[in-house]
Structure 1
Amino acid sequence: TLGTAQAEGSPDSVFALVDRLSIDALTAILKGNGDQRASPNLARATTTSLPALKAYLEGESLLRRSEFPGAIAAYQRAIAADSTFAFALYHLGDAYGWSPEIEVRITGGQYYARAARHASRLPEREALLVRAGKAFADGKAAEVELLREAVRKYPDDAEAWFSLGEFYFHFGQQLLIDQGRSDEPFLKAVDLDPSFAPFYIHLINNAFLHHADSTRARRFIQAYRRAAPNTRIDNESRIAFGLAFGDSATLLGALAALDTLPVLTLASVSGGYLNHPRFWDEQEIVLTTKPRPNSFDGTLMTLRLSANSLNRGRLRSALAFLEEPLVTRPIAEVNLYMLHAKGLPVPTEILERESALDARADLPADSLPDIITFFAAAYAADRGRWDAHAFGVARLRSYSQRFLAEGDSAASTFAAAAAEGLEGLALWRRGDAERALPLLERAQRGATGQGPGELVNATIRWWLGTLHLESGRAREAARYFESFWNDPVAAYSLGQAYEQLGEYAKARKAYEFLATAWKDADPELQPRAAAARAAAQRLTSVTRE
């Protein structure tokens, strides 16, 4: 026998008792399953509803095989039967997060928030995971400490390791960690539970994005296929492999397959696999195979085309993509300011048009008001327009108070940190770098997020890297410029930092990256490309000594 179960209660609660007895019996059966790694953790099933539990277990099985739409439907049935079922809400957020559509992925945030409201009903380790899930959805990168604590306390918990990897993968640049650092917790998760397919997904991504390693990519693609054959990610990863690493015949087959793929798959392949310097040509092909949709995904594809152009020194093309109707004006402003902050020659009339800060009216809630205000006020500071800058800081602080009153503490923290970053920028622009530094450092730690919020953080990191480089603190400058993975513009500043440190081989490599990426750059970018070539040549003799 597997065990016994009993339930006691009054006669008028007989149906609830039957449910409780059924749950206890199911728990005994699952504990008797020979493959404990593949069995659901019933400590996380804090429900007294048998229909909720049955739907949850179905969702767990589907999530394990990366069958995300089916998992979403099952978890929805679970929370319909028990709206307080914390882990069903939490894993529903996870399942939504793997959708190829941005609009659908965003939906997952609400379920993490609902799960967190019931975290007090969970055992300690499960509560840590649920709270970390909400922090992830809120873009609070510093809350990675929840997961570092979780893996210290529970080193045998595969989901804790995986969640830590998720933070490193998505927030690594903002946390100033090495680009391949997320491999370590993902590998630990795989070791603990090798049949859970989603654990392999970002290992596959990293094999392309950070390692450009065909052997590594093949290994994880094959492991994923054993766990989740013929799923969306199985198919797209094999097409990406053909584009990135295939021989001539495989490449031709992959190129032919592009015409048959949904646009959302093309978007995923372009960003999740081909955003490495070795694959920029293939990335451009994927992004231009079909018309881009009038959606968030179409906007993202257009922004990737703009970035792809800039990465290869085609500034005019990059600017043209930002002018397309698919790119909303707030998003255009964000990206134009980033080009300006990096010292690239963006026409003044474009910056003036896109960065005007209207003091006469509040901005609508759906127009990214805090993001628009931040970049407009930053541009005002760069131009010495201190009244406009001060207005922007005050507006951000009012947004922070409003968001807090509305119950959105994450947005409140972000707006307050963005305001502090602008105050630091003003001090720096006025010549007080030492007082600016702590404000900018606090702002960089506080203004974290995904999407447009991530670009606010990138801007502050760029300011910090530049400030440290100007102040002769090359080691600190390198930390910030290293966070701009695969960015040729950042590579030039990184080369300068390494050269100051006497790390000449690393400096030469950084200079060569820009010189190679911009070998066919537009005329207005050729001076910087030439400077990079000269610096690399100058250091060639030094590194040979």
Structure 2
Amino acid sequence: MIGRTISHYKILEKLGEGGMSVVYKAEDTKLKRTVALKFLPPHALGSEDEKRRFLREAQAAAGLDHPNICTIYEINEVEDQTFIAMPYVDGMDLRHRIEQGPFKVETALEVSIQIAEGLQAAHERGIIHRDIKSANIMFTGRGQPKIMDFGLAKSMDWAQVSKEGTTVGTVAYMSPEQSGGEAVDHRTDIWSLGVVMYEMLTGNRPFRGDYEQAVIYSIVNEEPEPVTAVRTGVPVEFERLIFKALAKNPKHRYQDMEDLLVDLRRLKAELDSKELLSRSGIRVKHRKSRVSAVLIPSLLIAAVAIVAVYFLKFQPGEAEGAPIPIAVADFENETNEPELDGLSGMLITSLEQSRMLSVLTRDRMFDYLDQMDKNDVTRIDERMGREICREANVNVLIAASIRRFDELYTIDLKAYDLRENKHLFAAKEEGRGKASIPSMIDKLAKKTREELNEQSVAIQRTSENIADVTTPNLEAYQQYFLGEQYINQLKHKEAREAFQRAIELDSTFALAHYRLAYASWWGHEPEDLQRAQLQRALALVQRLPEKHRYLLRAQNAVAVEGLQEGVKILKEMEKIYPNEHEMIYNIGDYSYHLEEYEQAEKYLKRALEMVPKHERALNHLTVTYRAMKDYDKGIEIAKRYADVTRSPEAYALLSDFYINKGEYETALNIAKETFEQHPESFPVANQIVRGYLMKGEYTDAEAILEPFTSDSMDAKVRQGALNMLEAVCMYKGRYRDALSTADRNIEGFFEAGDSISAAQKHITKAFVYAMGWNDVKSAEAELAKALQYQDKFAFSKKSTMLMYDPDREYWMNIACISALLGRAEEAERIIEERLSDSKAVWIAQFLVHGAKGEYENAAALADTILTSGQDWQKQIVHFQLGEMQYENGELDRALVSIDGLHESGLVYGPRALLYPISMNLLGKIHEKKGDSRAAIRSYEKLVSLWKDADPDLPLLQETKSRLASLREAETQ
């Protein structure tokens, strides 16, 4: 490009390159001046319509004439190359200038004013920049700042930029609404200028992260560190106006650039006259009387002493600076208007914005009522509130009442010190009409925070109007309030209906949208419905209280990016809300599904310390101990779970632990006794079937399953029962019945739109064909059917309900069966291309080593799998290793390996196929050892087990032949 002439511009040198443009220094051969040419790649402009729109907007920007805006000389297209000609600024951009160190306060203020003046001129012409950042501010040789790239931002294909990985710097300056893909107005430039001002004063951006989504998360959810905490000598007023520019809600920002300029210019005038006090400790000296010199310090000492005593009284004492525990009783509603019954929830939400208070939420209060065996309580009056506070070790109780006189509403609030059993303070608010009630709640929350000695700057910074973060519609709020009550009672269907009614009354009620998605999650609604509800809630995320923003973004992260991302967000939340029960439980829940069991145990135990009868925490801690194989602790928690809930699911888990300990009779007794009372419970039936299978009572197992496979049964239950019936058929050698059962399940998966399960079921059929008849052709046909679902995996692979990666599972199974069929090279290719970054590679590599006859490599990898692999992987290793050891003449080791398969408590999965086959292998091992009696017993066991098996199974025919030969040899 250098040396070429484009139009009438001779390219002199390359100045720089970004994700969406390349800039060259050039000579304007017509006007004999030095210019900068910015070339835009074709993909940046999209379609022809988008290109025309870009040209119109760039031409409008070219009409801007202001000393702080870099003028656009020309927009042109030559040889399919679109470029913009502008003055060549021989200077440094603001980004590189900041890298040399923070600006002096006076310099930062002067630069801010000039940038704001340039933006104001653009806004007056209806032009929004949309990409204000330090890299887009250039300084001339005289130090004058100029705003670059007007007219570019709106037309850029930012999705393409993101793909090229160049926008982390750009994203850091985006407003919350812009980073969320929402429509923006001139206030997005005000936000971005706030970021630039913060950066000039501190040397750092206010919102940071290692990758784009982390930065966006910080922008939407986190507050920047105060400027005055990063650097001394910065006027408090400068910090205030920066934080006002950085208000997450556009309504709370400066509403136009002129308002910001007024404050900036006033600040400059005050600095120039040396009249402003700053947090630096530097003060303008004033002469003062002897009285004030003595009296004021004395008063300050007294005030500090009073505050210290107060905080010593109201801090719980576990840690210095710990939040004050506080609870809110239900309002005494004297208006006879039911839509005002839920006002305590509004006040709780408003108070939760405080970092100084630890507010006992209403659902936590009901958890304590449950612990107190007061399950029948539906309303928390002052008396009941006091009892709950004593149980929860809460220091302060708020009680309030609302009355009505014609159109005048009055709320009276009283605060009580429950340790000293005395009245703390009272507050009263009045307003005309119901529409005034949310603002009355705001004022009462502010008054409460002030009375509890929270600093005014903290109150101002963390206070949002309750109507903005809930709803101004009190009928809608009452429906939301009811929905929360239903969630506390685990009535998810009723909760969904209440939240839906709230949304019908106020479609912008973000909290109701979020809780609807939450209730749908726990009610196991279809995933596409959950996603749609999450997206609606996310679109309104700015109207959520901060705590719920974290919870919503965590839930969405799980749906979109996986559980690990959800945990990251919740751990950020933990820094601000360390005692939020739902957050603590969710970290434990997600950690369990991520197989991070020690972390799961830690957080689930914390959740139970807070709410000892929390059913979901009891359930997840129980299954966590099962995964950890800590059966004694598991039995202890399972018994506690059963005592709390008396649910069949709890007793099913208790039975499960005894099966895993090998105590089959105890397990069966628990399960059978429970099944008599709950014959509809499939989890209990499952444990009975497991017990029967471990004892070899296959016919009894099949009889238990039969009713659950009926077409009239719930689809999920039927699918589970068919899976188990399929395994029973495999144990009994009825492979054709197993295949037809799998087909029944595939039909059900089709009806439910469950492509993942359908694909896995075809893979199971492939294994049956391969292991049962060595039928490679049929196995390949089933794999081809599974492959057709691949385009649907990406949509579901990290969904809200799916706790594994189906794409990885699919290719792992393909690699495994390829290796079993002797196609080692194909399996190795799949491992390299699809599995190299996951634990799934272990089992596939093990089978490849076996297929290639690399016994030592296989044995070494077997140790890793048997130590750290999953149970189903261990079953395969036990069997395949036994076969290798048999072929290698290591007969005693082979017997140990097969024993490992037989002792596995996982009765489904590979064991259903491998256990019967292992009987044949055991017989051959004993034959080779010269123990014909042991060999006969093994063969007889298989023949007996397979008395109703498909007669054409090669292994059955071989076993009968070997058995006949041994028996004949015995008679001779």
TM bucket normalised to smaller? 0.5 to 0.7
1:194 aligns with 2:194: no
1:351 aligns with 2:737: no
- Aligned residue in 1 for 2:549: 127
Counterpart of 2:788, as a letter, is T
SS in 2 for 1:66: coil
Structure 1 residues 383-402: aligned runs within 5 Å: none
Whole-angstrom CA distance in 1 between matches of 2:735 and 2:447: 64
Counterpart of 1:146, as a letter, is K
1:156 aligns with 2:579: yes
1:463 aligns with 2:844: yes
- Aligned residue in 2 for 1:256: 676
Residue 189 of structure 1: CA displacement? 2.0
Deviations 1:67-126 (A, max 9, x none): 333333333334334444444434433433344xx6657744433343333345446654
- Aligned residue in 1 for 2:208: none
1:237 aligns with 2:237: no
Residue 250 of structure 1: CA displacement? 5.4
1:74 aligns with 2:498: yes
Residue 272 of structure 1: CA displacement? 9.2
Counterpart of 1:351, as a letter, is A
1:337 aligns with 2:752: no
Counterpart of 1:192, as a letter, is M
Residue 400 of structure 1: CA displacement? 8.8
* CA shift in 2, pair 1:165/1:522, >3 Å: closer
- Aligned residue in 2 for 1:448: none
Deviations 1:290-319 (A, max 9, x none): 453355322232123324555788756533
Pairing partner for 1:321 from 727, 737, 741: 741
Pairing partner for 1:96 from 520, 527, 533: 520
How many residues are matched?
A: 447
Structure 1 residues 461-540: aligned runs within 5 Å: 462-463=843-844, 466-467=847-848, 472=857, 482-485=868-871, 489-492=875-878, 511-516=898-903, 524=917, 526-527=919-920
Residue 475 of structure 1: CA displacement? 7.2
1:118 aligns with 2:540: yes
Structure 1 residues 134-149: aligned runs within 5 Å: 134-138=556-560, 140-147=562-569, 149=571
Pairing partner for 1:46 from 449, 469, 474: 469
Residue 18 of structure 1: CA displacement? 1.9
Whole-angstrom CA distance in 2 between matches of 1:286 and 1:301: 10
Whole-angstrom CA distance in 1 between matches of 2:703 and 2:568: 41
Whole-angstrom CA distance in 2 between matches of 1:114 and 1:522: 50
Deviations 1:106-164 (A, max 9, x none): 74443334333334544665434322312434573443552563476355333223223
- Aligned residue in 1 for 2:710: 292
Whole-angstrom CA distance in 1 between matches of 2:467 and 2:638: 29
Residue 287 of structure 1: CA displacement? 3.1
Farther-moved stretch of structure 1 (324-333 vs 89-98): 324-333
Whole-angstrom CA distance in 1 between matches of 2:737 and 2:514: 42
Whole-angstrom CA distance in 2 between matches of 1:205 and 1:274: 19
Check conservation: 1:400, 1:416, Cα contact below 8 A: yes
1:306 aligns with 2:726: yes
Farther-moved stretch of structure 1 (462-471 vs 78-87): 462-471
SS in 2 for 1:324: helix
Whole-angstrom CA distance in 2 between matches of 1:156 and 1:19: 27
SS in 1 for 2:833: helix
Whole-angstrom CA distance in 1 between matches of 2:468 and 2:689: 39
Check conservation: 2:470, 2:543, Cα contact below 8 A: no
Residue 511 of structure 1: CA displacement? 4.2
1:441 aligns with 2:835: yes
Higher Rg = 2
- Aligned residue in 2 for 1:450: none
* CA shift in 2, pair 1:193/1:288, >3 Å: same
Farther-moved stretch of structure 1 (476-485 vs 126-135): 476-485
Higher helix proportion (structure 1 or 2)? 1
Give the structure, 1 or 2, with the largest relative contact order (CA under 8 Å, sep 6 or more): 1
**Runs (5+) with no aligned partner, structure 2:** 1-413, 416-424, 452-464, 659-665, 886-892, 905-910, 929-972
Counterpart of 2:919, as a letter, is Q
Structure 1 residues 180-219: aligned runs within 5 Å: 182-206=600-624, 211=629, 213=631, 216-217=634-635, 219=637
SS in 2 for 1:293: coil
Whole-angstrom CA distance in 1 between matches of 2:569 and 2:921: 42
Whole-angstrom CA distance in 1 between matches of 2:687 and 2:510: 30
- Aligned residue in 1 for 2:486: 62
Percent same amino acid among aligned pairs?
17
Deviations 1:223-270 (A, max 9, x none): 5754xx57xxx24424664797658875553342343x2xxx42x445
Residue 200 of structure 1: CA displacement? 1.9
- Aligned residue in 2 for 1:390: none
Whole-angstrom CA distance in 2 between matches of 1:219 and 1:419: 35
* CA shift in 2, pair 1:106/1:148, >3 Å: same
Deviations 1:375-410 (A, max 9, x none): xxxxxxxxxxxxxxxxxxxxx57x799x79xxx9x9
Check conservation: 1:292, 1:301, Cα contact below 8 A: no
Whole-angstrom CA distance in 1 between matches of 2:466 and 2:845: 45
Counterpart of 2:900, as a letter, is F
Whole-angstrom CA distance in 1 between matches of 2:507 and 2:783: 45
- C-alpha RMSD over aligned residues: 5.8
SS in 2 for 1:431: helix
Whole-angstrom CA distance in 2 between matches of 1:138 and 1:280: 44
Whole-angstrom CA distance in 1 between matches of 2:927 and 2:639: 41
- Aligned residue in 2 for 1:166: 589
Higher strand proportion (structure 1 or 2)? 2
TM-score (norm 2): 0.37
SS in 1 for 2:710: coil
Check conservation: 2:438, 2:467, Cα contact below 8 A: no
* CA shift in 2, pair 1:146/1:296, >3 Å: farther
Residue 324 of structure 1: CA displacement? 3.3
Residue 205 of structure 1: CA displacement? 4.1
Check conservation: 2:722, 2:741, Cα contact below 8 A: yes
Check conservation: 1:183, 1:206, Cα contact below 8 A: yes
